[in-house]
Amino acid sequence: MAEESTLRHPVVSGLFYPDGAQELEQTVDGYMARADRASLYKIIREQTGIPDPETLVPIALVYAVAHYFSLFVIQGQFVAPLLSDPLGRGWDIFGTAGVQPNLGVLGPNTIWYVQAASLVLGHVAGLAVAHDRAVAIFRDRGDALRSQYAMLALMVVYTVGGLWLLSRG
């Protein structure tokens, strides 16, 4: 029976097998202890093999801006009337039920410029963080600079590719 329980996932074991609660508890305790010992970045490094995951944070943030900027600006206008009448019963709790959203507030060119600017700024910020990490790792400034050539080329390709995709519609 003990050998069978080692083949089960701890969560499945804890939820569906009578003897699994202890196994689930030990797994959760192990994860909690690991979280206490290591930072999020260290866990990401161990799990993915990415040496400096903090260099990806600016890029992830600007991709979120590029993808959701127009959604936030246009759909966010519907919050005011919905707050006053959340159930659609004709209420006007905050006096904003009559607010008419302006769906033409952003033109296609504005959206493209915001997306393009965020994409370029995010890649530049990612390169800056990567360069900062390289300077901290390498003693020789020249080695730190040379270690960034591949990342620079990759970011230029990603930026040009991203801008090309954005320009295609």
Q: Is the pLDDT of residue 44 over 80?
A: no
Confidence at residue 163, expressed as pLDDT on a 0 to 100 scale: 80
How large is the average pLDDT for residues 47-60? 72
Q: Mean of the pLDDT values across residues 134-154?
A: 83
d(CA 116, CA 121): 9
Q: Cα torsion for 71, 73, 78, 81, to the nearest 10°?
A: 160
pLDDT of 48 above 70: no
Interval 108-136 mean pLDDT:
86
Decide if pLDDT at 92 tops 80: yes
pLDDT digits over 124-136, tens only? 888 888 888 888 8
pLDDT in tens, 54-72: 777 888 888 889 889 999 9
H helix count then E strand count, the chain: 9, 0
Q: For residue 25, which amino acid is it?
A: E
- pTM value is 0.59
